[in-house]
Structure 1
Amino acid sequence: MARKRYPRFGALEPGLVHEALVGSVLKLDPRRQIENPVMLAVEIGGIVTTAGFFVGLSTATGEQSLFTGLVSLWLWLTVLFSNFAESLSEGRGKARAASLRQSRTSVPARRLAREAFDAPANEVASSDLRPGDLVLVKESEIIPGDGEVIRGAALVNEAAITGESAPVVREAGGDRSAVTGGTTVLANEIIVRVTTEPGRTFLDRMIAMVEGAERRKTPNEVALEILLLALTAVFLAVVGNIYPVSAYSASFTGSGAPASLTVLVALFVCLAPTTIAALLPAIGIAGMDRLFQRNIVALSGRAIEAAGDVNVLLLDKTGTITLGNRQAAEFVPVEGQSRDELMQASLLSSYADETPEGRSILALVREKTGVAPACPPGARFIPFSAATRVSGAECDGTSYLKGAADAITRLVPERGGAVPPDLATKVNGIASAGGTPLVVARDRTILGVIFLKDILKTGIRERFADLRRIGIRTVMITGDNPLTAAAIAAEAGVDDYLAEAKPDDKLRLIRETQDEGYMVAMTGDGTNDAPALAQADVAVAMNNGTQPAREAANIIDLDSDPTKLLDIVEIGKEILMTRGALTTFSIANDIAKYFAIIPAALVGIYPQLAILNIMDLATPQSAILSAVIFNALVIPLLIPIALAGVRFKPMPASRLFAYNLVIFGLGGLVAPFIGIKALDLLIAGVL
């Protein structure tokens, strides 16, 4: 069925751009600007030069006043461009949140007096429900709040929340009992126990988190901000000492004049790491937005950051590494029996089997014979039961059965038959190959074995190889026996596996791995996964999982696709790579600007600095103005990279560092030389 996705919001969509322009002006308020101290310092510089411009109108020459005014203008534009980048990324999150709010409505709820479908009920508003309340939800009704199904089973449309057009089954017990407020029951009726307070539902948490402005800063982001503050403080001190030094040198040599306040402010702005400081907030917010584009909600910004540092992945076998449903792969007759008879018996015993395994047996018969399977009239089907562990059919007085090896080998002798001597060898061979053997019998005769195989998801082995290349170890967790687990692990290409895993085994494995200094990520959907999810550094819960699993996780996958854990790791690394790449660009960018603005600021006092004017800029004023303009323009030019992120490339850290150094380091070094020179030619021609 076609997938319904959330609306995508392009970086330059007119509505978002308009809101971002308004937001960039509102963020000029120093009380809001203080959240970005580097840009606050630039704003203060803009205020100082603006004041100098108006003072200079009456005391300075027209040329000096024009120079000060132009520098002031571009300092304000630098701050506005920075605010625009952050406002644009925030706007995308708020637009998504607005679309989610349309799903949050107050609906009537049928609150029950006790846990029974025929219990007395009174109608209340969903906003009046409290944890522990029992509500009855019938066909075509909206589920009034987050909760767990404790009675019944129903088909639920979750498109309003997850974007998934196909309905899903929610039922009492097991790992598919959680329901979300705002979704609609399409068929049957269920009793739901409410688990959350009004205003604290899963939908409310989603809305709060997709509004990027409300996210908390991650440790790496805080560390980078501290570095930027330190660099800013150093450059502020350097620039602050230039005036007395230049004044002393000018008086001592009798030539030149001390650096003006406008030149000092321009020098500081060009030296400070303004580019990365302007784009840093947008990078983190955009990362959460990219997750949401894939129907993944991060309940913590720290979780995304941690995903970028993960070096051990724990993955369930079923549904993550394999398709989740075993498929019939081969018919293996025992000695003395024909494959055709085995296929005929397999067909008849599986014709009424609606399980994925049963349907795959019919499909394999069709593939082998080229004929559509048909059941003879008058057949009586034998349903599977937990007691016998077999299923099948009776046709014209003959019974055809299939089931577990131990069940069939116990049943056939009871009917007077014998177990073929080579059956155990064939059953063990299938098990050692990672398959599941189903033994097929006709009356008292065992005909052979159906080889049921766990089918790997397409491309999963290649993805594990990519992860291995960047130093991430993959561990498969399964309840299968060690023999089967080893075969699947080898076929999938995982680095390790944990067989016959129980909840405490998962928790112990995570703790031991963390004690060794690793960052661990895992997926889960059941109540028994909750302890391990709570312990993992990155815990991804399935939206169709139980409430305890969702509460223990810090990331929710709305599509309930466990393989998205790999996508989450990639996006986490994209955020780290984007931050590192733009930091590299910013630092390299500043190095180039030194050759423009330092000679221009001090060449009047120290003529020897003219040798640093390797770009052959026309005049000190044009050089300074060109550097300031380029410093401002580079911010909006890099906004698309900050929002889209630097594409993740699986490679070792050393190669990744070299790659970023070449692309963004060299680019950041070369771009200013070209840009500043071009601006200088333009300014010199105009002025």
Structure 2
Amino acid sequence: MAISVAYVYSTATVFGLKGEDFFWELSTLIDIMLLGHWLEMKSILGASKALQLLVSMMPAEAHRVKADGQTEDVKLEVLEKNDIILIKPGEKVPADGIVVGGSSYLNESRLTGESKPVKKEKGNKVIGGSVNGNGSLKVKVEHAGKNSYLNKVIKLVEEAQKVKSRMQNFSDRAAKWLTYIALCVGFGTLTFWLIAGQPFVFALERMVTVMVITCPHALGLAIPLVVAISTAVSAQNGLLIRNRTAFEESRKITALLFDKTGTLTTGVFGVTRFETTDPGFTKEEVLQLASALEQTSEHPIAVGIIHKVKEMNIPIPRAEKFNAITGKGVEAEVEGKKVKVVSPGYLKERSLPVPEFALSSKAETVVFVLVNEKIAGFIALADAVRPESKEAIKTFKRNNIKVYMVTGDNKIVGEAVSKELGLDGYYAEVLPHQKAEIVKQLQNKKEFVAMTGDGVNDAPALAQADVGIAVGSGTDVAAETADIILVNSNPKDIANLILFGKATYTKMVQNLAWATGYNTVAIPLAAGVLYKSGFVLGPAIGALFMSLSTIIVAVNAQLLKRKIGKTSPHLPPSF
């Protein structure tokens, strides 16, 4: 509007209208505005690069293994479910699937935010877009094309960027009203200076300057650019945002409700302690003897013991004359010794003394190792608490967020985990449909509640909560009732989510405050409020200020990338 008015008037003076043209001011104004636009668009394109990076993570072709064992290179669109593909060292994984051969470490950092390479061997799932390490893998395709994890992530990011939150709607309304204000103040300025007896050229220049400087670029860009950056960068760090408003309101969370298994705990029944009670055996020997009896069993206790032995690289000896003691344990001969792995109940039946320190935790399951009918030691197993959980809980508490746990386990286990982590409370023996009622109870106490669950049996509670967070979804990102999806079942990620939500909201407020505050100062100056003091703001200078305000908003939004980069690897001491 400003450029058109200035150009039409200047052209009219060329063809006979009395007055002075300001083509020079006009051309300078356009040059400065174009420079501002270029810098602004460079920032906007930078915001979309994170999403482009996700798209570019998929390779163009895959090595499909034919029936005769030979491989053929095919386009990704041709891949179908149950196809076997070969992934060579250093290559990108072309589709989601399950490893059927080989072993390697995969870099999933740009997909899930997991900084360390993840070991993949037979039976493990792989995600399309991750980068293979030094080994070769054969993978059976589960999801290809539109159904792949990466495509779902890209779709979620695109949808989240399109959906406007309350803050963005407010920004849009403010930008619309600023346009009306620019026109009204512009024509009002023209009228005022003409009535004040100033030449028409002077009055018109004041009007043009007002319109240029009030251009709502900064205000219109304040929120959308922050949205584009935060949504795309979040996806790269394992935070998939489905509901923009819920993400922005995560800063209000006062109570967090955690599902126990797989979130606060590892979800794996593993060895927590193993000790010797006989000086004739070392701790490692006790574990080794037990592993000999458990190596062929699928029982959770056996699986936990074998996992620990492999982790410690302890060789497993051969067991002979194996026999199951119904309901009590197992027995066999190992290297000429009669070895038994039994429950505390077996010891009581045989009137054998049970070491008191062996049963120190009610949350643990304890088995005893007997050698020639004498207790050699014991092994304690439990669904171990994640090391990250304690650190995350401390951070929540430092920021006045109450943390509760819901679990289907019995009260003894619930109480033990709650005490170990220092939670504000726990709910045990809870059925899935009861979780929504617990959320309501907390909301009735005026708490702003975030519920974390797996997105399937926790659906009612996720929908009821003020912020629903689906955790540990892995390659299944279609958690319809969740507002936010965390790819990893890591409580530290929830702390990072709340931190990044606060940082995003702060950037929005900063940008709105700058864009609004700038106009309250710039409009009076452009109208000529300091004319009597000898200060007059020309259209070109006005354009410079307008462009500068837009660039400041764009650069401030870009700083979000550095914010999440700092929060992801290490949990901050406070928000």
For the aligned pair, the TM-score class normalised by the smaller chain equals 0.7 to 0.9
String of CA shifts for 1:516-573, please: whole Å, max 9, x gaps. 565544444474345544555333343436x596455454444564542332222222
* Cα separation, 2, equivalents of 1:68 and 1:386: 95
User: What is the match of residue 88 of structure 1?
Assistant: 46
User: In 1, distance between residues paired with 2:253 and 2:367?
Assistant: 40
CA deviations over 1:205-237 (Å, ceiling 9, x no partner)? 333344589632222221232234334434543
- The correspondence of residues 668-687 of structure 1 with structure 2, limited to 5 A, is none
Shift of 1:644: 2.7
Q: Is the 8 A contact 1:441 1:448 kept in 2?
A: yes
Aligned counterparts of 2:337 and 2:374: Cα–Cα separation in 1? 11
2:548 to 627, 633, 636: 633
> In 1, distance between residues paired with 2:155 and 2:394?
36
CA distance in 2, matches of 1:57, 1:352: 102
Instruction: Label 1:399 to 1:191 Cα distance change in 2 as closer, same or farther (>3 A).
Output: farther
**2:65 touches 2:86 (CA, 8 Å); kept in 1?**
no
CA distance in 2, matches of 1:339, 1:630: 83
Matched, 1:486 2:434: no
Aligned position for 2:233: 290
Q: CA deviation at 1:287?
A: 0.2
Q: What letter is aligned with 1:538? A: G
Tell me: higher relative CO, structure 1 or 2? Use CA pairs within 8 A at least 6 residues apart.
2
Say whether residues 1:542 and 2:472 are aligned partners: yes
Q: How far apart, in 2, do the equivalents of 1:88 and 1:191 lie?
A: 34
Within-5 A mapping of 1:122-161: 136-138=82-84, 140=86
Deviation at 1:418, TM superposition (A): 1.2
Aligned residue in 2 for 1:668: none
C-alpha spacing 1:498/1:167, structure 2 compared with 1 (3 Å): same
Equivalent AA in structure 2 for residue 99 of structure 1: S
1:357-372 equivalences in 2 (<5 Å): 357-358=304-305
1:593 to partner: Cα distance: 3.0
Match of 1:589 in 2: 518
Q: Which residue of 1 aligns with 2:219?
A: 276
CA distance, structure 1, for counterparts of residue 453 and residue 61 of structure 2: 27
Q: Which residue of 1 aligns with 2:257?
A: 314
- Counterpart residue number, 1:349: 290
SS of residue in 1 equivalent to 2:164 = coil
* Cα distance between partner residues in 2 of 1:89 and 1:288: 10
Give the superposition deviation at 1:465: 3.3
CA contact (8 A) 1:437 1:452 kept: yes
- Give the deviation of 1:288 after TM superposition: 1.3
Hey, what's the Cα distance between the residues in 2 that align with 1:344 and 1:64?
94
1:41-80 alignment, distance < 5 Å: 44-56=1-13, 64-80=22-38
Counterpart residue identity of residue 350, structure 1: S
For 2:514, give the aligned amino acid: F
Distance 1:213 1:318 in 2: 29
In structure 2, what is the equivalent of residue 676 of structure 1? none
- Establish whether residue 429 from structure 1 lines up as the match of residue 360 from structure 2: yes
Residue 70 of structure 2 aligns with which residue? Answer: none
Q: CA deviation at 1:280?
A: 2.4
Deviations 1:43-89 (A, max 9, x none): x3344334444445555776744234433443455455444433332
Q: Which residue of 2 aligns with 1:15?
A: none
- Alignment partner for residue 272 of structure 2, among 328, 331, 338? 328
2:339 maps to 400
Say if 1:71 and 1:266, in contact at 8 Å, map to a contact too. Answer: no
Assess, with a 3 A threshold, how the Cα gap between structure 1 residues 471 and 258 changes in structure 2: closer, same or farther: farther
Moved more, 447-456 or 628-637: 447-456
The yes-or-no answer on 1:224 pairing with 2:154 is no
The Cα of 1:127 is off from its aligned counterpart by 6.8
Seq. identity, % = 19
Alpha-carbon distance in 2 for matches of 1:301, 1:321: 26
**In the alignment, is the contact (CA less than 8 A) between 2:161 and 2:227 conserved in 1?**
no
Contact kept, 8 Å, 2:473 with 2:485, in 1: the verdict is: yes
2:406 is aligned to 477
Deviations 1:464-498 (A, max 9, x none): 33333444332233444333333433332433333
Structure 2: distance between partners of 1:242 and 1:60: 21
Distance 1:460 1:86 in 2: 37
Q: 2:457 matched to which residue of 1?
A: 528
1:510 pairs with 2:439: yes
Conserved? CA contact 1:464–1:474, under 8 Å: yes
Kept in 2, the 8 Å contact 1:350–1:361? The answer is: no
- 1:95, 1:189 → 2: CA distance? 26
Tell me, in whole angstroms, the C-alpha distance in 2 between the residues paired with 1:442 and 1:53.
Answer: 105
Aligned to 1:32: none
1:281 deviation in Å? 1.6
The CA deviation string for residues 303-333 of structure 1, in whole angstroms up to 9 with x for no partner, is 5335444443333444433455544346374
Unaligned 5+ segments in structure 2 are 68-74, 296-301, 568-574
Mapped pair 1:418 → 2:376: no
- Which position in structure 1 is the counterpart of 2:209? 266
What is the correspondence of 1:538-687 to structure 2 with a 5 Å cutoff?
538-544=468-474, 547=476, 550-559=479-488, 561=490, 563-593=492-522, 596-598=525-527, 601-602=528-529, 607=532, 610=533, 619-622=535-538, 625-645=540-560, 647=563
Residues 47 and 229, structure 2, Cα contact 8 Å, conserved in 1: yes
Residue 528 of structure 1 aligns to a residue in which SS?
coil
| Cα drift, residue 137 of structure 1 | 4.3
Give, in angstroms, the shift of residue 637 of structure 1.
4.2
Residue 517 and residue 61 in structure 1: after superposition, are their counterparts in 2 closer, same or farther (change >3 A)?
same
- Check the 8 A contact 1:328/1:360 in 2, yes or no: no
- SS of the aligned residue for 1:510 comes to helix
Distance 1:103-1:571 versus aligned 2 partners, 3 A rule: farther
Give runs of aligned pairs for residues 178-193 of structure 1, distance below 5 A: none
User: Displacement of 1:629 after TM fit?
Assistant: 0.9
Aligned partners of 1:306 and 1:538 also within 8 Å: no
TM-aligned CA deviation for residue 105 of structure 1:
7.5
CA contact (8 A) 2:265 2:385 kept: yes
1:244 to 191, 195, 210: 191
CA contact (8 A) 1:53 1:69 kept: no
SS of the aligned residue for 1:568 comes to: helix
User: Is the contact between residue 524 and residue 540 of structure 1 (CA under 8 Å) also seen in structure 2?
Assistant: yes
Say whether the 8 Å CA contact 2:319–2:332 is kept in structure 1: yes
The aligned counterpart of 2:344 is 409
Task: Give the alignment's Cα RMSD to 1 decimal.
Answer: 5.0
| Structure 1 range deviating more: 279-288 or 290-299 | 290-299
Cα distance, 1:596–1:428 mapped onto 2, change above 3 Å: same
Question: What is the TM-score when the length of structure 2 is the normalising length?
Answer: 0.73
Other-structure match for 1:440:
369
Please say if 1:206 is aligned against 2:153.
yes
Q: Which amino acid aligns with 1:226?
A: R
| Matching residue of 1:305 | 248
Q: How many residue pairs were aligned?
A: 539
Q: Which amino acid aligns with 1:472?
A: I
Residue of structure 1 equivalent to 2:72: none
CA contact (8 A) 1:349 1:392 kept: no
